[in-house]
């Protein structure tokens, strides 16, 4: 049976970065991916993901975020390609609202470079934005986006260059611990053994850790690209990324996120959790509908009327949503050499660069230099 130091299941955002970190440390790595590298069936496609710095989700994320930024720069340097684009980010919501006030409090506490803008100031500086009189904006000049598929490609190439055995279209079908204290993995093409296993399988996590079934659910999202009426307002360098919560033209409450024109034709928008469709990752529809478009367009029409032109693309994508919205990064209690890595819940990509390092530590018995207690598995038992 072929033997490795670490087997990684899933070569997406987290798995590709982990494969690189382990291979660079001289470990024998087998990294197996169910689909192609990259692909559009998981959580990481659609060109890019926002990186915002003020993190209202909790102080545990902050040191990870700081390290993630420098790790993205390192990946760029090693891979010879820009991955992190600093566009500035805007968090906008009704004064007193949870999203924006939480982000402002976190920016102050963390001493993150930021400005608070009135609606008028926001629209003067960034005329693509159209926001309500009662809104407040947090502008972070150092925020931006990470090129998501390009990052996976960069990390996969770096891993291979450092000797990792990276393979596509070879899903793990099962795993078990061996009496010698290792892990044995089955795939349709073979059987492999290693000292440890990293399960970075994204939205498929519960197939391999059934105990998480009530705590981590695949959730369908759809991203949309629109042809702007005034493209000059939405260019990279002119239009910051961001997110806005508030009342939409159709009378509902919504939360939209947006990116400048980059990577794919048009301006990219998404409505967070617009349909609340949960299910198994294999069953959730990857076909976008008119209804998906209507949900996103309501947000575009409300906050970005100059971008509300013809549709240029709709791409469904999966979150792995945990019951408390926090990541899962832990060893399995009954198999400590199996590491679960699902930093998701719709906000994990920005951390992939540092997660590679954290997971490489966990897989080789090194204690990561971060407080990871928020991400432990036993919090679900307590709940
Ligand atoms: C629409 C959308 C918008 C988002 N916006 C943001 C954002 O703005 N900022 C941000 O930071 N985050 C954002 N996120 C979240 C972020 O994209 C995810 O947290 C991140 O992509 C998850 O990475 P992952 O490695 O866990 O999953 P993936 O990249 O999906 O990787 C998991 C991989 O495992 C593979 N796999 C599954 N089963 C097996 C198996 N049995 N054997 C081998 N391989 C297997 C899958 O095919 C997949 O390639 C967003 C997510 C979505 C869907």
The residue nearest atom 3 of ligand 1, judged by CA position, is: 346
CA angle centred on 149, ends 301 and 89, rounded to 5°: 45
pLDDT for 313 equals 98
Give tens-digit pLDDT for 31-70. Answer: 999 999 999 999 999 999 999 998 888 888 989 999 999 9
Give tens-digit pLDDT for 182-217. Answer: 999 999 999 999 999 999 999 999 999 999 998 999
User: Cβ distance 355 to 15 under 8 Å?
Assistant: no
User: Cβ distance 54 to 91 under 8 Å?
Assistant: yes
**How far is ligand 1, taken at its centre, from the CA of residue 317, in Å?**
9
* Average pLDDT rounded to a whole number, residues 278-283: 96
pLDDT for 383 equals 53
Indicate if ligand 1 lies below 6 Å from the C-beta of 216. Answer: no
Tokens, residue 250: 């159709």
Query: Is residue 235's pLDDT more than 80?
Result: yes
**How far is ligand 1, taken at its centre, from the CA of residue 71, in Å?**
18
**How far is ligand 1, taken at its centre, from the CA of residue 68, in Å?**
17
Tokens, residue 25: 């440390």
Cα 173 to chain centroid, rounded = 25
Query: Is residue 342's pLDDT more than 90?
Result: no
Query: Is residue 27's pLDDT more than 80?
Result: yes
pLDDT for 273 equals 79
| Contacts of range 54-59, beta carbons closer than 8 Å, 24 or more positions apart | 54/91, 54/103, 54/104, 54/106, 54/107, 54/110, 54/112, 54/114, 54/138, 54/140, 55/106, 55/110, 56/99, 56/102, 56/103, 56/105, 56/106, 57/325, 57/326, 57/347, 58/326, 58/374, 59/109
Q: How confident is the model at residue 122 (pLDDT cuts 50, 70, 90)?
A: very high
Indicate if ligand 1 lies below 6 Å from the C-beta of 349. Answer: yes
Indicate if ligand 1 lies below 6 Å from the C-beta of 156. Answer: no
pLDDT for 57 equals 87
Q: Which atom of ligand 1 is the closest one to the Cα of 317?
A: 53
Q: Average pLDDT, whole number, for the chain?
A: 95
pLDDT for 345 equals 81
Q: Which atom of ligand 1 is the closest one to the Cα of 347?
A: 12
Query: Is residue 291's pLDDT more than 80?
Result: yes
Give tens-digit pLDDT for 236-261. Answer: 999 999 999 999 999 999 999 999 99
CA angle centred on 20, ends 19 and 23, rounded to 5°: 85
**How far is ligand 1, taken at its centre, from the CA of residue 13, in Å?**
6
Give tens-digit pLDDT for 161-180. Answer: 999 999 999 999 999 999 99
Query: Is residue 271's pLDDT more than 90?
Result: yes
**How far is ligand 1, taken at its centre, from the CA of residue 346, in Å?**
9
Give the global pTM: 0.98
**How far is ligand 1, taken at its centre, from the CA of residue 276, in Å?**
18
- In sign, the C-alpha dihedral spanning 288, 289, 290, 295 is negative
Indicate if ligand 1 lies below 6 Å from the C-beta of 266. Answer: no
């Amino acid at each position: 049976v072929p033997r490795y130091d670490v087997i990684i299941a899933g070569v997406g955002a987290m798995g590709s970065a982990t494969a690189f970190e382990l291979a660079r440390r001289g470990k024998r790595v087998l990294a197996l991916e169910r689909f192609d590298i990259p692909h559009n069936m998981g959580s990481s496609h659609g060109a890019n993901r926002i990186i915002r710095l003020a993190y209202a989700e909790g102080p545990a994320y902050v040191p990870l975020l700081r390290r993630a930024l420098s790790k993205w720069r390192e990946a760029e340097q090693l891979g010879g390609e820009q991955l992190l684009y600093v566009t500035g980010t805007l968090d906008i919501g009704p004064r007193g609202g949870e999203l924006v006030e939480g982000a402002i409090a976190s920016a102050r506490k963390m001493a993150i470079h930021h400005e608070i803008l009135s609606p008028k100031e926001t629209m003067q500086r960034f005329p693509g934005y159209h926001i309500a009189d009662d809104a407040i904006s947090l502008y972070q000049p150092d925020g931006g986006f990470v090129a998501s598929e390009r990052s996976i490609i960069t990390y996969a190439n770096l891993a291979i260059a450092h000797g990792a055995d990276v393979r596509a279209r070879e899903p793990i079908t099962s795993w078990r611990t061996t009496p010698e204290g290792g892990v044995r993995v089955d795939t349709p093409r073979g059987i492999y053994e290693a000292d440890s296993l990293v399960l970075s399988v994204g939205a498929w996590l519960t197939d391999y850790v059934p105990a998480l079934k009530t705590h981590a659910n695949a959730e369908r999202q759809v991203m949309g690209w629109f042809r702007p009426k005034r493209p000059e307002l939405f260019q990279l360098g002119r239009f910051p990324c961001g997110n806005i919560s508030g009342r939409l033209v159709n009378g509902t409450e919504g939360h939209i996120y947006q990116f400048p024109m980059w990577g794919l034709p048009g301006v990219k928008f998404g409505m967070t959790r617009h349909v609340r469709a949960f299910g198994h990752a294999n069953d959730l529809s990857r076909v976008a509908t008119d209804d998906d478009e209507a949900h996103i367009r309501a947000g575009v029409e409300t906050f970005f009327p100059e971008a509300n032109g013809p549709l240029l693309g709709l791409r469904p994508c999966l979150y792995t949503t945990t019951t408390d919205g926090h990541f899962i990064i832990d060893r399995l209690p009954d198999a400590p050499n199996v590491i679960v890595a699902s930093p998701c819940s719709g906000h994990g990509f920005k951390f992939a660069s540092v997660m590679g390092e954290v997971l490489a530590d966990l897989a080789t018995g090194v204690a990561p230099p971060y407080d990871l207690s928020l991400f432990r598995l036993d919090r679900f038992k307590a709940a």
